[in-house]
Amino acid sequence: MRSIITFAALAVVFCPAALAQEQEPWSLKDCIDYALEHNISVRQSQITVEQKEIDLNTAQGRRLPGLSLGASENLSFGRGLTADNTYTNSNTSSTSFSLGADLPVFQGFQINNAIKTGKLDLDAAMASLEKAKDDIRVAVAQAYVQILYDEQMVEVAKMQVSHDETLLEQVKVRRFAGHASDADISAQKATLSQSRLTLVQSEGNLQMSVLALTQLLELPSPDGFSIVSPSVEALEPQMLMSPEEIYRQALEIKPAIQAAELNLESAKIGIDNAKGAFLPSLSLNGGIGTNYYTTSNMDFGTFGEQLRNNFSQYVGLSLSIPIFTRFSNRNNLKIAKLNYTNTQLLLENEKKNLYKEIQQAYYNALTSQSKLEGSFDSVTSAEEHYSLVEQKYMNGKASVADYNDAKNNYLQAESDYLKARYECLFQTRLLDFYRGEEIVF
């Protein structure tokens, strides 16, 4: 009995083609690659990176000179004072054109600090993007393993239904021969109904796990979706590294830590930037201009002549020394220092969370390996007991209640064994992932 059900349960592992539906089965790599391209959270993180690129470009542009072109037209009506100090009614108009440029010479190092901050913020956004991708990789792998488990539970349930149907026919034959009663047939029908209900529940669990994965992939529908099962070697338990060693390696590569460290460096430059507001600023400016002027009953020359005659140029330096800024500079510096302290705490908290995650994954892996060993012994014992009770039941020496108890214990042991097997698979691969390896099986 054990060999029959085990063969059915592992059929998914060795024969992925048996699960093929309308589409080609998806491997774990297929699922992860597709999720990284289509998942909304990842795409939002990519937009954040693009925004930081624009911010950096804006900060770099502050080094360049500013250039502006201006034009104005003014009209005046009514009485006005003339050159000979008399009043008269006149209509005047003036047209002016100007082209000006300004170049920042010194801004208290704020431009350089803004560029440094922009680069760090861009790097931090890219690290955050990698963290979002990591989160999706883990979520997809976890959903993938859940499907593998539910698929095998469906196969076990199907084999149990088939077995109970065969047993019902055997009980009917025994009833015809006078070795069983109508009550035995009714009891076996009830057992078969329970097996069919278990199958329905298992199929429902499988549908929900498939739906969860396809939603992570942002697929429109789970219809026709199936996955590739891992190789036999991937299901074998592996030796585990200590959490301290895994943590040491993870600190060097995990994007969440890198993003927090970059944010801390950016916050430090933010203090320098706030200090720069206390320093003087110096700008170089220059420009050219001309104008055209008319007054009723007076001739000042043609439009072209006036533009040439009124042509002017200017160049100058502008110096601004902050003396009192209503405490804004002082308060901005205080805020920058508080932000730096808070960012230090965020980095420390990120490191602690990483170590907690690794510890949890490590002890979950240890527990799953212990469960795998224990559940294997348990399922072997439950199978032997089930086979003995089944023989007694068929010979009329055991009640249907005894048979159902033995069967349910065996199915529960089988379920625990399969669950421990896939928990062990996921948790050990998760530890490898913290060390910088891809999640593959």
CATH number at residue 271: 1.20.1600.10
Lowest mean pLDDT among 74-88, 111-125, 313-327, 336-350: 74-88
What is the pLDDT confidence band of residue 20, given thresholds at 50, 70 and 90? Answer: very low
Q: Does 126 have pLDDT greater than 80?
A: yes
Q: pLDDT band at 154, cuts 50/70/90?
A: very high
More confident residue, 21 or 361: 361
For residue 11, what are the CA distances in angstroms to 17, 27, 30, 249, 380? 10, 17, 22, 38, 19
Note the pLDDT of residue 83.
58
- Residue 28: count other Cβ atoms within 10 Å of its Cβ: 22
- CA dist 331 and 341 (Å) reads 15
Q: Tell whether 47 is covered by a domain.
A: yes
Check residue 87 and give its pLDDT: 65
Q: Is residue 419 part of a domain?
A: yes
Neighbours of 292 (CB within 10 A): 20
Range of the domain at 241: 38-62+107-204+231-279+322-434
Phi, psi for residue 85 in degrees, rounded to 5: 65, 35
How confident is the model over 6-20, as a mean pLDDT? 41
Give mean pLDDT, residues 282-306.
85
Q: 262 in a domain, yes or no?
A: yes
pLDDT at 230 over 50: yes
Please write the tens of the pLDDT for every residue from 397-406. Answer: 887 778 878 8
- In angstroms, what is the C-alpha Rg of the chain? 39
pLDDT of residue 18: 37
pTM of the predicted model as reported, rounded to 2 decimal places:
0.79
Number of domains in the chain: 1
Strand order in the sheet with 281-295: 66-76, 92-106, 281-295, 312-320
> Between 110-176 and 400-434, two packed helices, what is the crossing angle to 10 degrees?
160
Q: What is the pLDDT of residue 75?
A: 85
Is the pLDDT at 32 greater than 90, yes or no? yes
| Tokens 């510890």, located at residue | 359
User: Over 80: is that where the pLDDT of 441 sits?
Assistant: no
Q: Rounded distance, CA 262 to CA 266, Å?
A: 6
Higher pLDDT, 189 or 407: 189
Is residue 4 predicted with pLDDT exceeding 70?
Answer: no
Residue given tokens 């069983």 in the structure block: 180
- The C-alpha atoms of residue 22 and residue 221 are separated, in whole angstroms, by 13
- pLDDT value at residue 236: 62
- Percent of the chain at pLDDT above 90? 56
What pLDDT score does 295 carry? 78
Residue 174, domain member (yes or no): yes
The separation between the first and the last C-alpha atoms of the chain, rounded to the nearest angstrom, is 29
What's 231's DSSP letter?
P
Opening angle at CA 348, ends 345 and 354, nearest 5 = 140
Average pLDDT rounded to a whole number, residues 107-133: 94
Q: What is the pLDDT of residue 63?
A: 92
What angle (nearest 5°) sits at the alpha carbon of residue 361, between those of residues 355 and 365?
145
Answer whether residue 226 is part of any domain: no
Question: What pLDDT is stored for residue 84 in this prediction?
Answer: 64
Of 2-6, 280-284, 310-314, which gets the smallest average pLDDT? 2-6
Give dist(CA 14, CA 9) in Å, integer. Answer: 10
Nearest Cα residue to 9 out of 189, 235, 225, 169: 235
The answer as to whether 221 is a domain residue is no
Element (H, E) at 331: helix 328-394
Q: Which two tokens stand for residue 128?
A: 């955050």
For residue 74, being part of any structural domain is answered with no
Query: Residue 349's pLDDT is what?
Result: 97
Measuring CA to CA, which residue among 162, 155, 154 is closest to residue 208? 154
Q: What is 227-260 written as a DSSP string?
A: BPPPPTGGGS------HHHHHHHHHHH-HHHHHH
Does residue 309 fall inside a structural domain? no
- Residue 194's nearest CA partner among 173, 174, 168 is 168
Residue bearing the bigger pLDDT, 293 or 86: 293
pLDDT value of position 101? 93
- Report the alpha-carbon distance of residue 93 to residue 295 in Å, rounded: 7
